Chain A
Amino acid sequence: MSVRCGLRPGVFEVHVNGQFREVVLRSSDTLLHALRDLGLTGAKPGCENGDCGACTVLLDGVPVHACLTLGVEAVGHSVTTAEGLVDSPIRQAFIDYWAIQCGYCTPGFVVVCHALVTQCKEPTDEQIKEWLQPNLCRCTGYQEIKDAVHAVLRHSTQTTQGGDKE
């Protein structure tokens, strides 16, 4: 699909969290601000420079910095924000393992951790480190976040093994 957006703001349809949403966009608006204008404030403006990961969302399932993505780039693709992961095992694990302090970094972490646990079934410690490295937690709750990830991975391994036995 060829996409065009002129100098003036336009109305675009973006697929977010399973729904088509209409959003008024300048072509130079980042996806971060487009989502927040839709009331989806999970993706947080931190550095707006690709350094903190607070704005992480999934674009066609792949974690990206919403601050380094134009809103118009999402046209024709599917976006998932932390709000779209309310029923995910990783979100519950963040609660169970106290992986939240002030909470500012949490939506970004939830998004990247969800991608990790769903896309890498048996990640090595090195892979977990690589996936989590882009996200900063200034309250320094890194250990609890890793605990939450391991809990979900353990649970999915047990479920798979249980399923195999049946």
Chain B
Amino acid sequence: MIAFDFAYSRPNTPSEAVALYETAAAQGQHALYYAGGTEIITFSRMGQMAADAIIDIKDLPECQVLGIDGEEIVIGAAVTLNQLADSDIFPLFGQTAQAIADRTARNKITVGGNVGSRRLMYREMALPFLLCDSKVKLFGPQGARLLPFTDVFHHALNLKPGELITQFYIPRSFVANTFVHLKKTKQSSVNYPLVTVLALEDGDRIRMAFSGVCAFPFRDERLEELVSNRARPLCERVKQVIEQFPHEVLHDLEGSEDYRKFVLQLTLEEILKQMGWAV
């Protein structure tokens, strides 16, 4: 049971959603946008999260869009992970989505909610956006703005008060690129990642983004240079990546730092072999 009460609204337009947010904020209340609600319900039930006003954005038509617009793929923020994966619109995104949680949970978890997750550090759906030069459309008290994804997502989502994501835009040109998604968990396949690596071939370079290894998801171009340097043998490239890893590697109940590094090493080797970049 959630031990506190909140006001719940399910508006039909982004302006209505933002107005509800501003009204709550003007009264000193804590308002939260709500999409799948899986994180909000879980942490509210445990008493680790609270809100006075919940604004459910699932019915906003722009947040439900999933399709192609000219040279871009458009994904609404309230599209569920299963809708995205089942659509097969972009397998890189579909495979990433399909590896998160379980099928029933993915009927509720939304793309925007996963990227916007505050309590859980994994945010695995951010990985393909980080790799594909994506843009994000926001709506807030100042109206709409379209920004590069990396401008609002640095380890976690960073929006202005009252802003919400309505849509993501991805250049279609990336659809043809080779990619590999590997998620390694401690035990069952449905679990948080020990290591998730998403790799995308881009000409003479491999782009790579990580979740589970550190306390946040990220892409690092320096690591990409190391891994893409075919002049060096595979094992040496991977060793360099592990040695020069730019952030502290997690050391928790899921796995020690050493174990995570070991799993990361094997994962990177597997990825490079699968992509034909082993030599």
Contacts and interface: CB of A to CB of B under 8 A. Distances in A.
B120 interface: no
A26 interface: yes
Nearest to A108: B104
A46 B251 CA distance: 30
Which of the four size classes fits the interface of chain B? 20 to 34
Interface stretch (A80-88, A95-103, A128-136, A144-152): A128-136
A118 interface: no
B259 interface: no
Interface in A104-155: 112, 130-131, 133-135
13 contacts: A1-B59, A2-B10, A2-B16, A3-B9, A30-B1, A30-B2, A48-B45, A49-B45, A53-B104, A63-B104, A69-B41, A73-B56, A134-B190
Contacts of A30: 1-2, 41
Interface string A9-49: 00000000000000000111110010000000000000011
B8 A68 contact: no
Contacts of B107: 59, 62-64
Given A27-B8, A133-B190, A69 B104 contact: no
B8 A64 contact: no
Given A7-B7, A73-B56, A112 B104 contact: yes
Contact of A2 (B12, B58, B108, B190): B12
A49 B42 contact: yes
Contacts of B108: 64-65, 68-69
Contact of B105 (A3, A48, A50, A59): A50
Contacts of A48: 45
A68 B6 contact: no
Contacts of A50: 38, 42, 101, 105
Interface of A: 1-8, 26-30, 33, 48-50, 53, 56, 59, 62-65, 67-70, 72-73, 112, 130-131, 133-135
A131 B8 contact: no
B102 interface: yes
Contacts of A70: 8, 37, 41, 54
B248 interface: no
Nearest to A55: B104
B165 to A, nearest CB: 20
Contacts of A6: 7
Contacts of B36: 68
Return the 4 tightest CB-CB contacts between A and B, nearest first.
A27-B8, A134-B102, A134-B104, A28-B2
Given A65-B105, A70-B37, 7 more contacts: A2-B10, A28-B6, A30-B2, A49-B42, A50-B105, A65-B104, A134-B105
Interface in B27-46: 36-38, 41-42, 44-45
